[in-house]
Amino acid sequence: MREPISVHYEKRIKSFIYPILIKKFILVLSLSFFLPFATAHANLEGTVDNANCDYINGWAWDNANPTSRVKLKVYDATPTESTLLTTLTAQTLRPDLLNAGQGDGKYGFYFNLPVRIRDAATHTLSVQFDGTTTELNNSPKTTTLACYGKLNDTGITLCSNESNRLSCPAINYVGQDGDYGRDKLAYTNNLPKIGTGSAGFDFTKIANDGSTLPATALLGTRAKDWACTLDNLTGLLWEIKTSDGGLRDQNNTYSWYHPDGSSNGGFAGYQNLGNCTGGISCDTYSYVNAVRTLQLCGKTAWRLPSKQELMSFIDFSRSSPPLDVNFFPDVHGDYHPFWWSSTPYSFFPSVPNDKAFVVIFFDLGFSNPALKESSQFVRLVRGPW
């Protein structure tokens, strides 16, 4: 028996309406589940203010809960990989935010960028709210951080009058060295550093295997022992001498020899006139090649430094030796050691000369020409990093 037409159409209508109602119910449930998360993300605000050679900084807060502190993640992305650099909390007082009426103003963040980013490659620096993929304003920042090549300051943090050393600024004696630059910022605790060092200097100890070390690390021959010092401002990596009687012993000396006529001032110098250990010819050319083979601090491109490079870490607030012995402990200022540079000397540039510049780490430090046949100390350099 056929069912009444009214019943037939009622079933048809229900079969059409019920799935729609069920889908709508599921959609409402889904929205109600995700709504708190969407609302929470909407309350998060922040901006990257700067991303430069030394640091990345900015601010972030939850505008619905201004007494809370927001966590952030900082990423470094290159064309081949993405690396989490740090997880931090935005909690530093920002007077500008406080003065603008933005809660208690404690929403700032600041992160010193690691040494490895300063390699002149392209990096994308990204700051995201923790637990999300939401970027802060002005993030990500794609940049090439070719940050090396800067000059160190003098190391002088004090001023003086006619007879006394004084804190800067000195009344009636304004415009002194200590009133300016990185040294002043360091003296007033306003200079961010990657590593440590006196005044405006910024050094990091590097191990034999090339890894970074704390400032308390000790010299040694094992893979994780200190062997080099990285100048975080100039990007130059410096050899630190040993005291083990081996190839790199601090008492070894060498004559100046460089066979490349395009850079030796027209005179190659003299082979094997120094006094050294390590089973090599005691001249600068042989020593450079030996250390390259050694792959000191994980590097091979070691070379003799120029006169300017060798003087770049002189600290004019010190004397005999005029440098930070915590990072360069192998200089003995008491007997005026001369250290070879790669810079040839010629009073008449068109006339070959048998001299090259040495840097003397005595008194406040200075340079002089020396005969290439003379026996002097050598500190190799690599870089910028």
Q: What pLDDT is attached to residue 320?
A: 87
Q: At residue 169, does pLDDT exceed 80?
A: yes
Average pLDDT, the chain: 85
Q: What pLDDT is attached to residue 38?
A: 37
Q: What pLDDT is attached to residue 142?
A: 78
Q: What is the 3-state secondary structure of the chain?
A: CCCCHHHHHHHHHHHHHHHHHHHHHHHHHHHHHHHHHHHHHHCEEEEEEEECCCEEEEEEEECCCCCCCEEEEEEEECCCCEEEEEEEEECEECHHHHHCCCCCCEEEEEEECCHHHCCCCEEEEEEEECCCCCECECCCEEEECCCCCCCCCCCCCCEECCCCEECCCECCECCCHHHCHHHHHHHCCCCCCCCECCCCCCEEEEECCCCEECCCCCECCCCCCEEEEEECCCCCEEECCECCCCCCECCCEEECECCCCCCCCCCCECCCCCECCCCCCCEHHHHHHHHHHHCHHHCCCCECCCHHHHCCCCCCCCCCCCCCCCCCCCCCHHHCCEEEEEEEECCCCCCCCCEEEEEECCCCCEEEEEECCCCEECCCEECCC
Q: What pLDDT is attached to residue 7?
A: 44
> Of 101 and 42, which is predicted with more confidence?
101
Q: At residue 362, does pLDDT exceed 50?
A: yes
Most confident of 187-201, 210-224, 341-355: 210-224
Averaged pLDDT for residues 219-230: 96
pTM for the structure as a whole: 0.68
pLDDT tens digits, 237-295: 999 999 999 999 999 999 999 999 989 988 999 999 999 999 999 999 999 999 999 99
Averaged pLDDT for residues 82-102: 94
Q: Which domains does the chain have, with CATH numbers?
A: 45-144 (2.60.40), 202-385 (no CATH)
Averaged pLDDT for residues 376-381: 97
Q: What pLDDT is attached to residue 23?
A: 45
Q: What pLDDT is attached to residue 273?
A: 98
pLDDT tens digits, 94-134: 999 999 999 999 999 999 887 667 665 677 889 999 999 99
